[in-house]
Structure formats: C-alpha cells, structure tokens
C-alpha cells in the first residue's frame, strides 16, 4: 500500500510537476456548445452551470482554475494527452468511459429523452421507432444507446457533430426525432423559441435494467485521469461541501426552477 | 503496440468499407458529372460575348473563392432552414425533396465545386492551344466549331490531364467534409469509430491508409492515361535518340 502510494506520488511529481498531496492549479475543460450547462459568451469565454460549478469547487478547494474550450469528440483523448486536468462538461458517467477515465460523484442526474413534434406518438422504444430516422450527437450517451439498441434494427440513427445541427434537421423535417440528454433538450431547445411546437415524446428514460443504465450513465460527473487520485478526492470533498453549504443550490437556481440532482 | 489497438480496426471493418464505398462513389459521380458540365462551360467561359462569359466567370469566381465546406453547409443547412423549402418538402414536391437528402446536397456541392475548377483548367488549356494548330485547321477549311471539336478540344483536354489528376486527388481528399452533413463516408466512419472507442490513432490512421491507397491507384491510372494521350508531348526516349 505504502509502496503504491509512493509510486503514484512519484508519478504525479515527475509527470505533472504538481504536489501529489494537493492540487493548487487545475485546468478544467468544457465544450461551450451545451447551453445552459456550458456555452461561449459574447467575449469568447466559457460560461454556464458547469463552469459555475467548477469555479465553486475551485473556490472551495482554494485552487486556481483555468478553463480550456475543447470540442466534444476529442474531449477524453485531450484529457489523456494532458491538455487539461478535469472535464467539467456535463459528461455522463458510463461504464465505457470509466474504462478510460475516472469520475467524481455525480453533480446532477441526467435521463435521456426523445424529442419530436408536440403530440407525436413516438416513444423511446425499438417497436415505436421502426422506419424512423433518429438524430443523435456523435459520441454522446444517447448515441451509444441508440447505436447499441436501435441502429440497424429498423431504425436509422443519424449522427451529428453538434446537437444544434440535430435540432436544425429535426425542425426541417430531415429526421423524425432526436434522442438526447433531457437537460440539454430542456434548456437548449424546449424552453427556447426555436423549440416551440416540440416536446418530449414518451417519458424521461433512465434505462430499464442494469445493462441499459450502464450505457445511459449514472448521472453527470467530472472526469479526471485515472492516476490523479488526489484530484478526485479533492473534487469529491469539495462537491460534498458545496452541496451542504447551499452554494450548489444557489447556482442551480440561476438556471433551473426544479431540482436537478435527483436521488 | 500499446498505442495502436488493432482490434479497434478489425472490429469496425464493415463500417470502414461502407465508408470507403461512400467516399468513392460520391467523389466519382461528382467528378464525372462535373466534367460533363465543365467542357461546354469552358467554351462559354472563353466566349467573346460577355452575356455568355460573365455568368460563367461569376460562377467560378464564387465556387473557387469560397471553401467547399462553406458551400456544403449553405446547401444543406442553409436551404433546409427556409420555410418555403420546408413547405415544399411537406407538400412532397419531388424536385425540392432532393435537397432534404444529405447525399444529394453533398453531391451537388462537390459537383458545383469541381466543375468550377475543371472548367477553368480546360479554359486555360484551350487558351494555350498553339496558334499553329488553329491556323492549320483554318487552312484546311474547317469552320470554327469543327476546329473546336476536332482539333482544339482534343488537344486541350490532353494537355489538361496533369492538372486534372491533381483536381481528382484533391476532390477525393476534399470529400472528407461529407461527414459534416451526417454522411458516413470514410472520414465519417473513422469519426464514429473514434468516438466509440476514444481511439484517434487507430481510427484515423486506418482511414488515412485507405485514402493513401486510393490516391496511389489514381496516380497510377493517370500515369497510364498520360503515357497514352500525352505521349506526343513527352521528351523523346532513348530508342529514337539512338537513331540520330
């Protein structure tokens, strides 16, 4: 045990140059295309729920944080390539991602939903989607779920680089529905003028068994490299602290009228 | 090879082949249709009548002056946002419904783009036709159109072969942007594999190798074509040198 600790400390020292005990400088990354969780403000800086949470955690840890904007589909490779130290980008905690990176506890819960024209009879079920075109953002949980359970089984899954593009094609009628993270749809589309006439088709979907839940994820967490154990501990402690002292709820109220943390 | 996980590639081979096939026919159809329009338009481009040449010049000015990705996004997302167009789609108008299809939009953008480049290439080659050839044709009593058909065009198209081979290869590589409008071409397949396995090396190196292989074949084919149709412009070989 001691040996392992020493080894990881040495590794952290040699490769990052940061004290193994405590992280004082953290480079956080977000995508900037997932409002209101993360988006780019008029002056080009990142802003949103993720960024506020990240900053609150940094304040709690008394660490200096800098933000890096990173495209979604290169997010995990860039973390591994040490372009930054933590992904605070509304990333779902999934089994597949856990094979590559570590996650903190969730900082909010995240079901997936099917978005279609208001009153659409579609449901997020294989039988209901036969012959339909379903838009997903490439590399997201909804993509993984649709690819695994629907693609090639009578459903055509159409992949987009950005969720905005999927909405564009949903509105223009090129696809029948978009399968997407609920909060993204709620804040980025349904409550906006562009989303009028569109609604959640069926129910919020959390996965009906353990296997599906492993794909959909156990909520949204902060991703870090597996070897950065201290950073994970630090972030988890800070997360518990901001949940307890009310600063989490203060931030949440800025963006959502209801609880988003779940059970 | 820890950094290169071969199973990522072998597990996704069918997806790569389908992507390669999409890249090949998308590029090939765009090049052939573009060629079909480029030849007559290159003659129009050189017309002394400004009402004929100016529209062609405006067309090539726009399509050579803007990135193909911008053209593709304009045709796919731009057109799709117009309410008039959405009305046409709902009404089931078969012509405008074509614009709903990502494949058609990509094909249209690629064809318009490559046609503009090929057209200018051919126009340049026609302009550089040796005067002697034109004079000889006139001296034989050929009309302008006969000379064009029998002498000027065949000669110009042959001389346009080397630049054409560049354009063909550039189109092949340029077609990678098809994945921006949901088409799963070779790059799209690589992107899917990459985002599924977080394996950028495996996905993109393999896709790159496939592009490289196709480029290699194309270069070979053009070499054969040049040996056949451009032989008269090549330096003399040693066999004839020995005769002197």
DSSP string, B75-107: IIIIHHH-HHHHHHHHHT-HHHHGGG-HHHHHH
> Most A CBs within 10 Å: which of B198, B199, B200, B201, as the mutation test of the A interface?
B198
In DSSP terms, which residues pair with B10 in a beta bridge? Answer: none
Is there a domain that residue B51 lies in?
Answer: yes
Is there a domain that residue B239 lies in?
Answer: no
Nearest to A100 among B86, B180, B198 (CB): B198
pLDDT tens across A125-158, in order?
A: 999 999 999 999 998 889 999 999 999 999 999 9
A233–chain B nearest CA distance, Å: 25
Number of A to B CB contacts under 8 A, please give it: 46
Higher pLDDT, A120 or A218: A120
Q: Determine the distance from the C-alpha atom of residue B75 to the mean position of all C-alpha atoms in its chain, rounded to a whole number.
A: 18
What chain A residue is nearest to B201 in terms of C-alpha separation?
A77
Higher pLDDT, A261 or B62: B62
Structure token digits, residue B169: 């290869």
Distances (CA, A) of A172 to A136, B82, B134: 15, 8, 54
> Whole-angstrom Cα distance, residue B69 to residue B109?
9
Note the ipTM here. Answer: 0.76
Sorted by where each starts, the structural domains of chain A and their CATH numbers stand as: 16-109+219-255 (3.40.190.10), 112-216 (3.40.190.10)
The crossing angle, in degrees rounded to 10, of helices A229-244 and A49-61 is: 100
pLDDT of residue B243: 47
CA dihedral over B87, B89, B91, B96, signed as positive or negative: positive
Is there a domain that residue B119 lies in?
Answer: yes
Rounded to two decimals, the pTM is 0.75
List of chain B residues whose C-beta atoms are within 8 Å of the C-beta of residue A171? 81, 86
pLDDT along chain B (244 residues), means of 10: 80 94 97 97 95 97 96 92 86 88 96 97 95 92 92 94 96 95 94 86 95 97 93 71 48
Can you spell out the DSSP letters for A165-193? Answer: HHHHHHHHTSSSEEEEEHHHHIIIIITSG
Instruction: Calculate what percentage of chain A has a pLDDT beyond 90.
Output: 67
Is there a domain that residue B240 lies in?
Answer: no
Taking an 8 Å cut-off on Cβ atoms, the answer to whether B100 and A174 are in contact is yes
Taking an 8 Å cut-off on Cβ atoms, the answer to whether B80 and A143 are in contact is no
> Would you place residue A9 in the very low, low, confident or very high pLDDT band (cuts 50, 70, 90)?
low
Closest to B178 (Cα-Cα) out of A180, A161, A74, A77:
A161
Mean pLDDT on A23-30: 94
Nearest to B86 among A77, A80, A172 (CB): A172
Is there a domain that residue B242 lies in?
Answer: no
pLDDT of residue B244: 46
pLDDT of residue A5: 56
Whether B153 contacts B126, CB under 8 Å: yes
Whether A88 contacts A202, CB under 8 Å: no
pLDDT of residue B185: 96
Closest to B100 (Cα-Cα) out of A133, A5, A146, A145:
A133
Taking an 8 Å cut-off on Cβ atoms, the answer to whether A168 and B80 are in contact is yes
> Whole-angstrom Cα distance, residue B34 to residue A235?
57
> Would you place residue A208 in the very low, low, confident or very high pLDDT band (cuts 50, 70, 90)?
confident
Whether B106 contacts B25, CB under 8 Å: no
∠ CA A149-A151-A156 to the nearest 5 degrees?
135
B45 φ/ψ sector (left φ>0, alpha ψ -120 to 50, else beta): alpha
pLDDT tens across A58-85, in order?
A: 999 999 999 999 998 889 999 999 999 9
Please enumerate in sequence order all residues whose Cβ is within 8 A of that of B47, keeping only pairs 6 or more positions apart, or say none: B53
Is there a domain that residue B89 lies in?
Answer: yes
> Whole-angstrom Cα distance, residue B165 to residue B161?
6
Is there a domain that residue B132 lies in?
Answer: yes
Taking an 8 Å cut-off on Cβ atoms, the answer to whether A74 and B200 are in contact is yes
Compute the mean pLDDT over every residue in chain A, rounded to the nearest whole number: 89
Number of domains in chain B: 1
List of chain B residues whose C-beta atoms are within 8 Å of the C-beta of residue A174? 80, 100, 102
Domain that holds residue B227: 6-234
- The domain that holds B47 is classified in CATH as 1.10.3720.10
> Whole-angstrom Cα distance, residue B105 to residue B74?
10
Residues 123-142 of chain A whose Cβ lies under 8 A from any Cβ of chain B: 138-139
């Amino acid at each position: 045990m001691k040996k392992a600790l020493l080894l990881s400390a040495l590794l952290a020292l040699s490769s990052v140059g940061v004290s193994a005990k405590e992280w004082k400088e953290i480079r956080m990354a977000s995508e900037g295309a997932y409002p209101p969780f993360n988006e780019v403000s008029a002056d080009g800086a990142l802003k949103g729920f993720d960024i506020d949470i990240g900053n609150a955690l940094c304040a709690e840890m008394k660490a200096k944080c800098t933000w890096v904007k990173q495209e979604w589909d290169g997010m995990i490779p860039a973390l591994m390539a040490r372009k930054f130290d933590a992904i605070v980008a509304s990333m779902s905690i999934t089994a597949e991602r856990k094979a590559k990176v570590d996650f903190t506890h969730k900082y909010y819960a995240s079901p997936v939903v099917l978005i279609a024209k208001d009153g659409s009879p579609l449901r997020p079920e294989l039988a209901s989607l036969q012959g339909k075109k379903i838009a997903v953002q490439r590399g997201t949980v909804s993509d993984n779920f649709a690819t695994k359970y629907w693609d090639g089984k009578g459903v055509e899954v159409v992949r987009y680089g950005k969720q905005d593009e999927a909405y564009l094609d949903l509105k223009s009628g090129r696809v029948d529905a978009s399968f997407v993270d609920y909060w993204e749809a709620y804040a980025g589309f349904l409550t906006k003028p562009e989303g009028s006439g569109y609604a959640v088709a069926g129910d919020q979907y959390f996965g009906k068994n353990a296997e599906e839940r492993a794909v959909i994820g156990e909520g949204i967490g902060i991703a870090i490299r597996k070897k950065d154990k201290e950073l994970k501990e630090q972030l988890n402690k800070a997360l518990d602290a901001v949940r307890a002292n009310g600063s989490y709820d203060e931030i949440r109220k800025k963006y959502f009228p209801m609880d988003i943390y779940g059970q | 090879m820890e950094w290169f996980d071969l199973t990522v590639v072998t597990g996704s081979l069918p997806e790569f082949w389908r992507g390669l096939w999409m890249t090949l026919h998308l590029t090939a159809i765009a090049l052939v249709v573009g060629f079909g329009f480029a030849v007559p338009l290159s003659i129009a481009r050189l017309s002394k009548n400004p009402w004929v040449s100016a529209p062609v010049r405006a067309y090539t000015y726009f399509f050579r002056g803007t990135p193909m990705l911008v053209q593709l996004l304009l045709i796919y997302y731009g057109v799709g946002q117009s309410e008039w167009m959405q009305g046409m789609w709902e009404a089931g108008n078969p012509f405008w419904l074509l614009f709903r299809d990502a494949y058609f939009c990509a094909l249209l953008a690629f064809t318009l783009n490559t046609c503009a480049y090929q057209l200018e290439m051919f126009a340049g080659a026609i302009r550089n036709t040796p005067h002697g050839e034109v004079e000889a044709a006139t001296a034989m009593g050929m009309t302008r159109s006969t000379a064009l058909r029998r002498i000027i065009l065949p000669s110009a198209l042959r001389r346009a072969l080397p630049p054409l081979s560049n354009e063909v290869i550039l189109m092949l590589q340029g077609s990678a942007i098809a994945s921006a409008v949901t088409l799963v071409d070779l790059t799209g397949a690589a992107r899917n594999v990459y985002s599924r396995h977080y394996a950028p090396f495996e996905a993109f190196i393999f896709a790159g190798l496939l592009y490289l292989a196709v480029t290699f074949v194309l270069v070979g084919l053009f070499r054969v074509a040049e040996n056949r149709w451009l032989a008269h412009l090549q330096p003399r070989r040693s066999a004839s040198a020995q005769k002197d």
